[in-house]
């Protein structure tokens, strides 16, 4: 019998893509003072968004991956992307820090639940123990969790950056099971990432539910739904 539901945050409960798009556009406008054209500023903003998701060239990885402080990493990344080869003037560390803070503020300001998601999990919690499991550094995930007051809507919150391992590793799902006080056969995990959420759930013996708005084919997930509010159909099937 289903007793607990584990939930991903980004692109499952909350519209991270929308927040990123808004922040990226505002960041490009802010960066115009450092670049000769809007195109250059936009390219800079696009590269920064890729960078904070660790989508870097091998050369960049060699430089930035040894930096363990996320704030320092992002600040130095801005400096590097705004080197004199690209910008009209060198970006100082303080200017880069100010730009980083501006981007963070822009993104968090519009970070919110998908329509209907909050109301849905409020109802869900009446019958099931809810555990949020989100990957990512403390630097970015704690502000998101606080922004949407997620602790008011779930029973437990697990942030990957605070754990020895993140999804898909079994240890983080084992912690969720322990917090919920259930066996793997009594829980499901819902998320948008095949590699992190679905593979992790499957390897831990949980029912896996893939958030799949594009309705793509995939053989790994036990179930797939377009958005979190459709989870009730899966629960009905399991019942």
Please identify which residue in the block is written with the tokens 């550094």. 137
Question: If DSSP codes are grouped into helix, strand and coil, which group holds residue 3?
Answer: coil
pLDDT confidence bin for 85, thresholds 50/70/90 = low
The band of 87, judged by pLDDT with boundaries at 50, 70 and 90, is: low
Which has more confidence, 100 or 88? Answer: 100
pLDDT at residue 184 tops 80: yes
Q: Which two tokens stand for residue 91?
A: 């970006």
Taking only the tens place, the pLDDT of each residue in 9-28 is 999 999 999 999 999 999 99
CA distance 196 to 211: 12
- pLDDT bin (cut points 50, 70, 90) of residue 202 is very high
* Residue 216 vs residues 188, 192, 198: alpha-carbon distances, Å: 21, 12, 14
Domain boundary assignment for the chain: 4-15+113-238, 17-109
- Segment 2-14 shows an average pLDDT of 98
pTM above 0.85, yes or no: yes
Instruction: Name the fold adopted by 4-15+113-238.
Output: Rossmann fold (3.40.50)
Residue located via tokens 């009730």 = 232
* pLDDT tens-digit series, residues 120-156: 999 999 999 999 999 999 999 999 999 999 999 999 9
The pLDDT mean for the chain works out to 96
């Amino acid at each position: 019998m289903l007793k607990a539901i584990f939930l991903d945050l980004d692109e499952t409960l909350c519209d991270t893509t929308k927040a990123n798009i808004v922040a990226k556009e505002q960041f490009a406008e802010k960066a115009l003072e450092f670049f000769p054209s809007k195109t250059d500023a936009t390219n800079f903003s696009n590269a920064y968004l890729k960078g904070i998701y660790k989508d870097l060239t091998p050369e960049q990885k060699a430089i930035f991956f040894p930096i363990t402080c996320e704030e320092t990493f992002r600040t130095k990344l801005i400096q590097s992307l705004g080197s004199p080869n690209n910008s009209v003037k060198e970006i100082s560390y303080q200017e880069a820090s100010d730009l980083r803070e501006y981007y963070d503020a822009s993104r968090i300001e519009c970070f919110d639940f998908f329509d209907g998601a909050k109301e849905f999990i409020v109802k869900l919690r009446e019958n099931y123990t809810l555990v949020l499991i989100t990957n990512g550094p403390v630097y970015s995930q704690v502000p998101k969790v606080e922004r949407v007051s997620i602790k008011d809507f779930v029973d437990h919150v697990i942030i990957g950056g605070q754990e020895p391992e993140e999804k898909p590793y079994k240890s983080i799902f084992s912690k969720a099971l322990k917090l919920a006080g259930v066996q793997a056969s009594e829980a499901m995990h819902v998320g948008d990432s095949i590699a992190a959420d679905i593979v992790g759930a499957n390897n831990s013996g949980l029912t896996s539910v893939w958030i799949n708005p594009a309705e793509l084919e995939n053989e790994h997930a036990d179930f797939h739904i377009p958005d979190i509010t459709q989870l009730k159909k899966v629960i009905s099937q399991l019942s």
